[in-house]
């Protein structure tokens, strides 16, 4: 569903606390990616979730009650998680057989965290000829590197980064992209040219994944150091 900007967040070995802790499994999808996402119903990214009482960033192990979520549908209807109303609503909307899954460990695609260079965003927008919202790439960290070359983050594979005062992340692989990066986060309108450019000119990748080596709290505008 829709992402959100955060002023601060706790980063654990499993990812950002609270990130992707709920997911809907498509019971008829027996692949290694069984989730119901905007790949199957693109207006799913217009649903806006928010924690009713967010886990505090200074609490390394939040109480389960802090994960209660309210979801606002594009039409303005509200749902609560945990609860079964949203599952039933989405099953009818997308004609899917779904079940809700919760895990305190973030249910990410490949690695616990993702990073994306703002210079890469600027370059892809120029290459594709369309304005691109950074939220289309659904990254955890958007970074203005001191080296402002596009795709600078690709050179960091295998290197360690310190984010803020404590958190250390090792960059482990490029981020293989899919149709999600074509969807406008405010309208769900697709721009296929974005994925076409990434697939043809950048081996299908944009941004990088990282493994968390040291946990802690990060804040917006924290410096990022190459170790």
> What pLDDT is attached to residue 225?
97
More confident residue, 128 or 109: 128
**Boundaries of CATH 2.40.33.20 in the chain?**
113-226
**Quick one: which of 123, 119, 193 has its CA closest to 152?**
119
> What pLDDT is attached to residue 109?
86
H or E element that contains 210: strand 205-214
- For 96-156, the DSSP string reads --EEEEE-SS---SSSSEEEEEHHHHHHHHHHHTS---GGGG--SEEE--SS--TTGGGGG
Summarize pLDDT for 81-125 with one digit per residue, the tens.
999 999 999 999 999 999 999 999 889 888 999 999 999 999 999
Q: What are the residues facing 115 on neighbouring strands?
A: 141, 208
d(CA 200, CA 213): 33
Q: Is the pTM of this model over 0.75?
A: yes
Class of domain 113-226 as given by CATH: mainly beta
**Beta pairing, strands 113-117 & 205-214:** antiparallel
Q: What are the residues facing 25 on neighbouring strands?
A: 35, 99
Q: What SS3 state is found at 169?
A: strand
CA dist list (Å): 177 to 117, 181, 196, 204: 15, 7, 10, 6
3-state SS of the chain: helix, strand, coil percent to 5?
A: 25, 30, 45
């Amino acid at each position: 569903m829709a992402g959100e900007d955060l002023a601060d967040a706790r980063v654990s070995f499993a990812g950002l606390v609270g990130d992707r802790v709920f997911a809907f499994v498509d019971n008829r999808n027996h692949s290694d990616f069984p989730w119901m996402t905007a790949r199957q119903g693109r207006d799913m990214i217009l649903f806006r979730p928010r924690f009713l009482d967010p886990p505090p960033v200074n609490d390394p192990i939040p109480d389960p009650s802090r994960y209660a979520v309210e979801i606002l549908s594009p039409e303005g209807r509200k749902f609560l998680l945990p609860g079964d109303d949203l599952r039933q609503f989405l099953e009818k909307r997308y004609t899917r057989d779904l079940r809700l899954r919760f895990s305190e460990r973030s249910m990410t695609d490949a690695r616990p965290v993702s990073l994306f260079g703002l210079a890469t965003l600027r370059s892809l927008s120029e290459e594709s000829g369309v304005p691109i919202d950074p939220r289309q790439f659904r990254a955890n960290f958007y970074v203005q590197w001191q080296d402002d070359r596009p795709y600078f983050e690709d050179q960091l594979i295998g290197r360690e980064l310190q984010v803020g005062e404590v958190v250390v992340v090792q960059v482990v692989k490029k981020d293989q992209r899919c149709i999600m990066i074509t969807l406008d986060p405010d309208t769900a309108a697709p721009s296929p040219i974005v994925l076409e450019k990434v697939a043809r000119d950048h081996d299908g990748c944009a941004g990088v994944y990282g493994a968390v080596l040291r946990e802690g709290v990060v804040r917006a505008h924290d410096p990022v150091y190459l170790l």
